[in-house]
Amino acid sequence: MVKLGNIFLRYSVAIFLFRVIIWSSNNYKLMVMADVPAIFVFGDSTVDVGTNNHLAGSLATANNPYYGIDYPHHVATGRFSNGYNPADFIARHLGDYTESPPAFLALVQKQSTFKSGILRGVNFASAGSGILDDTGNKGFNLYNLGARKFGICGIPRIGCLPGIRAATPGGACNETLNGYAQIFFNTTLSLLQDFSSANPGMNFSLGNYFLMTTGVIDNPAASGFVEVEAACCGTGPYKGWFKCTENSDLCKKRDEYLFWDWFHPTQRASEMAALSLLYATGQEFVTPINFTTLANIQH
Ligand SMILES: *[C@@H]1O[C@H](CO)[C@@H](O)[C@H](O)[C@H]1NC(C)=O
Ligand SMILES: *[C@@H]1O[C@H](CO)[C@@H](O)[C@H](O)[C@H]1NC(C)=O
Ligand SMILES: *[C@@H]1O[C@H](CO)[C@@H](O)[C@H](O)[C@H]1NC(C)=O
Ligand SMILES: *[C@@H]1O[C@H](CO)[C@@H](O)[C@H](O)[C@H]1NC(C)=O
């Protein structure tokens, strides 16, 4: 993982390469449906819910229109989406949440509710984060502190992101990058298998974003998408030159687009991905168990 993190950072395709969602199982109560007591989210812009709004000088921000155009009250919250992101949908389906737990940096600003707030979970995701040599070994960052259930997602078909197509001759996908995404999945899976056999009591689900996005790109109509190459909001070819701003071209039918901006999925694509992670049967999209089964394990 450390090595892979390095590869990705070195080629720095984007900013947004790994996404990890983790929740702990302490005091887990079994209810009709999974009802997790707390969710802790780690990752990059795909699951950031406003962390970077609090980082002075950060350029990786999404707190301007048209971000949030489909979020309640049409506000830009810092999510890199027209509405919600996958962490929001996962939280909504796993328990009594309307969206992801708040960003840690938002929670600490309200000391009166900080302690009660963190008991339901925290979102630490920050756009632009990656796996570095000196942070990558902390993942099992977390087993030693008591985390037992790890829901992890691989990397999508990153060579086909609008921001990459815009930089590739002819608007083609960059297959080198797609190859890295597959290697990342395979290596992460072996690492998790080794770790869980050596550490009983730990369970994981690994989502295969690569296969999910490949399915949609190869056959958009099957899932109701019309445009799977260009972004909905942006500038330049494939609207892949720059982030979404108020001066960007904005598409009309956002639910028909796979990509919202140069690097991120639309709310609709995020919801579909979350539903696959949560409820997929079979091993194709999430392995060895889906997120619902993971949440329901009693330790
Ligand atoms: C694909 O991405 C790799 C890594 O960034 C880069 O070295 C290569 O030049 C790219 N290929 C094309 C065709 O753009
Ligand atoms: C990843 O693993 C699958 C299943 O074992 C295999 O078919 C595929 O070739 C592997 N891909 C890479 C890039 O290693
Ligand atoms: C959870 O992990 C344990 C080993 O840590 C394993 O024996 C068990 O089968 C896993 N549960 C599920 C539902 O996969
Ligand atoms: C999740 O996976 C289990 C085991 O494959 C399957 O029985 C179940 O239908 C899937 N969906 C949900 C919601 O648990």
Ligand 4 surroundings by CB, under 6 angstroms: 279, 281, 290, 292-293
Taking 80 as the threshold, does the pLDDT of residue 284 lie above it? yes
Backbone angles phi, psi at 205, to 5 degrees: -130, 135
Rounded CA-CA distance 46/167 in Å is: 21
pLDDT band at 138 (very low <50, low <70, confident <90, very high): low
Domain coordinates in residue numbering, the chain: 4-296
Ligand 4 centroid, distance to 196 Cα (angstroms): 21
Architecture in CATH of 4-296: 3-Layer(aba) Sandwich (3.40)
Render pLDDT for 56-113 as a digit per residue (tens, 0 to 9). Answer: 999 999 999 999 999 999 999 999 999 999 999 999 999 899 999 999 999 999 999 9
Q: Which helix (H) or strand (E) holds 217?
A: helix 209-218
Ligand 3 centroid, distance to 291 Cα (angstroms): 13
The reported pLDDT for the residue numbered 14 is 24
Query: Mean pLDDT over all residues of the chain?
Result: 87
Taking 80 as the threshold, does the pLDDT of residue 119 lie above it? yes
The reported pLDDT for the residue numbered 37 is 86
Rounded CA-CA distance 41/85 in Å is: 12
CA-CA-CA-CA torsion for 232, 270, 222, 166, nearest 10 degrees? Answer: 40
Residue 186 C-alpha from the chain's centroid: 18
Q: Check residue 274 and report its DSSP letter.
A: H
- Name which of 187, 194, 201 is nearest 155 in CA terms: 187
**Cβ-defined contacts of 95-102 (< 8 Å, 24+):** 95/34, 95/35, 95/36, 95/37, 95/39, 96/35, 97/39, 99/49, 100/39, 100/41, 100/47, 100/49, 101/38, 101/39, 101/40, 101/41, 102/49, 102/50
Beta-carbon contacts of residue 134 (< 8 Å; ≥ 6 apart): none
The arithmetic mean of pLDDT across residues 176-205, rounded, is: 95
pLDDT band at 12 (very low <50, low <70, confident <90, very high): very low
Can you name the residues that pair with 41 across neighbouring β-strands?
Answer: 21, 123
- Is 177's C-beta closer than 6 angstroms to any atom of ligand 1? yes
User: Which ligand has an atom closest to residue 160 CA?
Assistant: 1
Rounded CA-CA distance 141/20 in Å is: 12
For atom 11 of ligand 3, the residue with the nearest CA is 203
For atom 8 of ligand 4, the residue with the nearest CA is 281
Rounded CA-CA distance 16/85 in Å is: 14
Q: In the structure encoding, which two tokens stand for residue 23, read together? A: 């929740």
CA angle, corner 33, sides to 30 and 38, nearest 5?
65
- Name which of 185, 198, 86 is nearest 143 in CA terms: 198
Taking 50 as the threshold, does the pLDDT of residue 31 lie above it? no
- The pTM score is 0.89
